[in-house]
Amino acid sequence: MIHHTATSVVTIERFIIEQERQHPQATGQLSGILYDMALAAKMIASKVRSAGLVDILGATDDHNVQGEVQQKLDVFANETIIKAMDHGGRLCAMASEEEPDIIPIPDRFRCGKYCLLFDPLDGSSNIDVNVPVGTIFSIVKKVTKSKHGELADLLQPGRRQVAAGYVLYGSSTMLVYTTGQGAHGFTLDPSIGEFLLSHANIRTPDEGRYLSVNDAYEQHWDDSVRQLMRRYRGLEGGRRSLSVRYVGSLVADFHRNLLGGGVFCYPAHAKSPRGKLRLLYEANPLAFIVEQAGGAAIDGRKRILDIQPEELHQRTPLYIGSKADVDLASRTLAGLKTAVGA
């Protein structure tokens, strides 16, 4: 663990270099990917900030692979990340929530040993109403021998991630990432255009304050999910009730709960048997971060990071956040009759 004095200003670049130095065998490729992500984040942040001022609001005619209408800003964020990342010689393949297939590295560029998976602009249905949105990313190491990455390189369980992070475009822009040495947060200082260390070694409270769930789906939930929500609300089991907060932008809901303590739930339900969120672009990276911060993430039964993905756009139910609250989900959904607070 690197200690900085209260007065030292630590840029994300300095922090990444200092973390890299703790691994003498490091080639600098991973650090390079993280700088490039920080650059892409600054470009997207600048566009998001001016979204209300320019004629960029509203949907394009395109639909993404999930059949959702793409907002123009999604398209911009997607292209910005691809362009920032494809030429550095560190990646061998990419995958985006907005693209149906693997994104290859163009032949004119060198290929490296890492793969990047990302959700360029999460919470995009919130763009038009000035509600925070985010970018989420995950990095894994190539496992096949091919020069260009293959599907098998991208379809790795989350526990094999070497780094993951998210950017929250909120009242300030924050980037939080982990390389498995804790989760660290940086706030963009727009006056100098740098991400500065603001939240070193984030620890999420063991017990949460907040419950984030869209309970408009209650009619479609099964009985165990309904029971879990009653327990979170203190209506059953004698547990202290959680306060409900639901922005509807995963990054914003996750970030608030990470810092303040809480649980975000997107259960499977009758109309959406695998839930809504994407394992590779959303659940895995956030699960890596939350575990590094002392929290937990499950799909209702299994640890998210242990799920073997079968397809790029696989969906998963998600229960993520403070350890005690996720443990309660695990016990309740398994139908265990143990005491709620136990």
When binding is defined by CB under 6 A, the residue of 249, 316, 330, 332 that contacts ligand FDP is 249
Stretch that binds ligand FDP, among 5-13, 101-109, 120-128, 284-292 (CB under 6 A): 120-128
DSSP labels, 53-109? TTTT-SEEEEE-TTSPEEEHHHHHHHHHHHHHHTTSS-EEEEEETT-SS-EEPPTTS
Q: Which is nearer to ligand FDP, 11 or 314 (CB)?
A: 314
Pick the stretch among 121-129, 150-158, 168-176, 180-188 that binds ligand FDP (CB under 6 A).
121-129
Q: Which DSSP letter does residue 281 get?
A: I
What is the nearest approach in angstroms of ligand FDP to the Cβ of residue 141? 26
In the complex, what is the shortest distance from the CB of residue 152 to ligand FDP, in angstroms, rounded to a whole number? Answer: 25
Minimum distance, C-beta of residue 89 to ligand FDP, in the bound complex (Å) = 31
Residue among 74 and 291 whose Cβ is closer to ligand FDP: 74
Q: For residue 228, which of 266, 254, 190 has the smallest C-alpha distance?
A: 266
How far from 295 is each of 23, 205, 258, 291, CA to CA, in Å? Answer: 26, 8, 8, 5
Q: How far is the CB of 113 from ligand FDP (least distance, A)?
A: 29
Residue 207's contacts (CB-CB under 8 Å, 6 or more residues apart) are: 261, 322, 324, 325
> Would you call 246 helix, strand, or coil by DSSP?
coil
Residue closer to ligand FDP, measured from CB, 163 or 250 = 250
Binding flag, residue 124, ligand FDP (CB under 6 A): yes
Among 47, 72, 255, 276, contact with ligand FDP (rule: CB under 6 A): 276
Residue 29 or 126: the one with the smaller Cβ distance to ligand FDP is 126
Strand partners, 262: 210
Strand ranges (E), the chain: 59-63, 69-71, 91-96, 103-104, 114-122, 133-141, 161-169, 173-178, 183-189, 194-199, 210-212, 243-244, 262-266, 296-298, 318-321
- Report helix, strand or coil for 184: strand
Q: Does 188 bind ligand FDP (CB under 6 A)?
A: no
Length of the chain: 342
The correct pick among 277, 290, 304, 320 for binding ligand FDP (CB under 6 A) is: 277
Per CB under 6 A, 122 contacts ligand FDP: yes
To ligand FDP, the closest distance from the beta carbon of 251 in angstroms equals: 7
Task: Answer for the pair 210, 261: CB distance below 8 angstroms, yes or no.
Answer: yes
What's the one-letter identity of residue 163?
A
* Residue number with CB closer to ligand FDP (103 or 250): 250
Task: Give the interface size with ligand FDP as a residue count (CB under 6 A).
Answer: 12
Looking at this protein, which amino acid is placed at residue 292? Q
Q: Considering only residues 125-144, where is the footprint of ligand FDP by CB under 6 A?
A: 125-126
**Residue 123 interacts with ligand FDP (CB under 6 A): yes or no:** yes
Binding site for ligand FDP (CB under 6 A): 122-126, 214, 248-250, 276-277, 282
